[in-house]
Every structure is written in structure tokens, then in C-alpha cells.
A and B are shown apart, each in its own frame.
Chain A
Amino acid sequence: MKTLSIKVKGAILSVVILLLCLSIWHMATTQKVTPPPGISTNSSDYNSLMGQGGSEPVQKTGFPTLTQMGQTIYKQLSHPFYDNGPNDKGIGIQLAYSLARVGLGFLLAMIVAIPFGFWIGMSPLAYEAFNPFIQILKPISPLAWMPIALYTIKDSSISGIFVIFICSVWPMLLNTAFGVANVRKELLNVAKTLEVSPLRKAFLVILPAAAPTILTGMRISMGIAWLVIVAAEMLVGGTGIGYFLWNEWNNLSLSSVIFAILLIGIVGMLLDTAFGKLQKAVSYAD
């Protein structure tokens, strides 16, 4: 056991914790209901009327058992892309809608935030001029923009993209500005003494120097965007994982709700891991 690395030990512990949680879940949701004394077996009709029929393990609450959960997961994952009309689409399609919105909003935010951040990072005057606006706009919950977006854009799907845009833009903008403003003076002096043209300096000196900070901003933005899309889709409805979740709540299908929650977590983790990899690729040791 001594030879096991911390990582392996951690993984084993994770599995143990998972099993523990699952068994608690199992015990909490399945309970053999013994008929209370005094009520004869004749009253099984009464019992069944009361939702307590039979003596086989039954649900104590409306909460799904592990078996039901497994069935739901199996059912959803075996046909992820079916489409039976507006209220019944496969989980794959719903996820694709959400990811497309997040991707589009995020891309738009990148197109705006990185060049703009570059500019205010380079020019202290621009930074001073825009900073008050950024500081006021940054703490606004992205969903607060929803009514205005819906009113002006008049399209729920595009409004969702706008909300993603507005929440992704600030971390990227500020991190880009910070990264660009804090490029080591020495490196800029090297570029100066080599008479490097402004464009070459921007792409070959400032951008790589600031890239780790910019990527950090993008990673934060992506995290926020994925948080916000679920809420936004619950609000505007139609498609997407957030709408799916809300729709299943209206169906009182808690197992599907739990499934959606799990999936949101997993996709969010994958997105963050991807950006972590990107971040590693552009970072450098000093």
C-alpha cells in the first residue's frame, strides 16, 4: 500500500465515497413497508388506494430509486437524438442547443473582448475612461438583461445568446486588459530596441506574453456562461438542457431532472478541463 501514489489513493477514496453516497440513496428511497398492525390483509384494497399496496419494496417518497435512475439514464442515453416534436427531444439534441448557444455567445464575446481589452490594456487613458462603465456593468446578473434583450431582439433564442455574450465579455475583457498592461517592460524594451513594427509586436510579443492571463479570463467566462445558460433556457424555454430540466420538473419526472443535473455537471467539467488544457498550452515558465 505504501507504493500507491497520492493520485491512486485519492481515486480509490473517490470510488468509496461514491459507493457510500449511492448506498445512502438506495437505503433512503427503498423501504419495505410492513402493513401496520390492526389493519388486516383484507384492507389491501384500502392500502392500494392509499398508494401503499403490496408488500414488495415500494417507494417511500417520490424520489427515484437507483434502479429507476439507472433506467432513466439508460433510456436517455440509448436514444440521445430522437425528436418527437417541441416538448420531446433527445438529451443529445438539447445539449447541442445549449452548447451551440454558449459557443456562439462566447465567440461573440471573444471577438469583442480581446481586441477591446488589448486596446484598453495598451492605453492607460482608455483604461481610465472605460473602467467606471466596466465596473458598473460587470456585477449585473446576466439574467437581468433578459427582459431588455427579449424586448429589443424579440427572439428568445438570440436573447439567450445575448445573455451568454454579456456574461462572458467582462472576465475576458478585464483579464486581457490586465495581461496586456502587465507585459514585462524588459520584453517591450527588447522589441523597441529591435524596432519591431507595432503589428509584429502585438502578435509576437504582447499576445504570447499575455496569453496565459487571457486564457484564464476565457476559462472564467466559460464557467459563468455554462452556469447562466441553464437559467436562461429555463426562462425562455423551447430548447436546451435548461428547458429540458424545467420541462421534466413539470412532468414531475425527478429521475430525468437528476439526470439533467448530472449531465450539466459533467459537460461543465469537460469544458473547464478543455480550457485548462488550452491554458497549459499557452503558459510558459519564466
Chain B
Amino acid sequence: MTNSNTLLKVSNVRKNFAEVVALDGVSFEITSGEVVGLVGSNGAGKTTLLRLMSGVYRPTSGTVTLGDDTPVHLMRDSLGVVPESTGLYSRLTAWENIRYHSRLYGVSDNLAWKRTVKFAQSLDMEENLSRYTKGFSRGMRQKTALLRALAHGPRVLLLDEPTAGLDITSARTVRSLVNQIKQEGGTVVYSTHQLFEAQQVCDRIIIIHNGVVKANGSPENLIATTGCETLEEAYVALTQEKARMRFEDNKPESGVTKLWHKLFRPKTPESGETLVVNSDE
């Protein structure tokens, strides 16, 4: 049943890439002001789900809607997205990167600047706004991408592994910002495979495994339901099935590609065969 505060709704979503089923029967709702964690191993389907929620992908079946049941791809100006790769242009300054996206969102430079400065203070990025992003560290890039996603005032912020590869201080700063957004009533979808982080930041955790939602609830609720003592144990109990390959690694090959690979792919020993290594090596 739909809550009156429901902001984002994923209904029975299936996503296929040719024969590969990336997501199957995924359903959940996110209410306004919630911070929801998408937790899963590599290849679980988190990024695919985020791309569906940001309108980059369209579901094979099912719907992803925002607000009053409008398909999400028609409401992209209500979303702020930080992809895993951050996606910054190295020959533009941090502010130019932010301004570029804001303009495409139809937001005036003045308004975007005001919002950027406000959040830049929290992220300690004010002095770096006029610098080219070419020399930025991973942390600075992530912070710039966050500022860019916030500059147009989105209703929902979608973050794909925002702390991956960050040092402890930068990761803390990013988490603090998410908390700040939460305090201000913002809605955040936070993809991660760090359980402690999800527990720290999120009101609710959705565990995805092999393209299927395995659990959906608050960290305390998940622990209680599984009868485990920690969230990690609960996660392991819920995801015992062997993790599959990432979709990109599992893409079906065309006939020509198959033949090409058959001819030129390096040979590996068949099972039971012994790999002979030169004794001199």
C-alpha cells in the first residue's frame, strides 16, 4: 500500500540486458525525508537500480515513479545524482562543472552559486571551487560531484557508493553532509557495500542480492528478523547464495565476437590438466 508521504516508488521492476536478468521483481517505496541504503555485493544490481531510479535506464517491466506516479525519467529535474565515477570534466573548474549541470537543470547561476556555497562550507570546498578538477583527489572529486548534484535543489539525492575509495576524513565529511541533508528534510538513496556505513547513515536498508531484494527494513529490524547479533551476520544470513558476475562481465557475446575470442583468447588449462611451468622461471 502506498504511504501518503511516498516520494519514490519502485513497483515490480525487472531489468533485462539481452538474456541477462539484472533485476527481478524489485519493489519498494521511499518516503520523503528518508535516507535509504541500497546494500549488496559487487554485481548485486545496485548501480542498475540507481540508474533506473535516475531515469538513465528504463525498466523492462514494472515502473519507477516519483511523486504522483509520474515516471521518473520525466521528473529528472527533481533528482540529484552522484554516479560512482563522479563524472567531472577535468578541463573545467569545480564551479564550472556545477554550473554546467545547473544550467541544464534550468537553474539560474545565482541560485546555483548560493546553494553551492552553502554546501561547500560543510564540505570545506569553498577555496577549491575556482580550481580545475584535473588535479583533484578522489575525495575532492566526490565532494564536487555532491555539490553539483545539490546545486539545483533536488527532491531526491541518489548517491552511488559515495565514499568508495575515500580516505577516512573525506568519507566522514560526506556522511556528515548526508546527515545534514537528512536534518533539513531531504531524501537520499545511498548505495554502498559498507554495512557499518549504512547502519550509521541510513534510516532503512534494502539488501539486494543477485538482482533480487532480500530484505527491506531498519538495521535493528533486520537484525531482529534474522535472529542474528550484528548487521553483518544478518547480511550473510540473507545472502548465502553465491554472488553472480557483474552484468558487464556477463554480457552475451555476438557470433563474430565468440569466434574471435575462440581464435585469440589466451588458453587456460582444462580442469584436471596440469599447467606446465618452465623450471627456470
Do A and B interact with each other, yes or no?
A: no
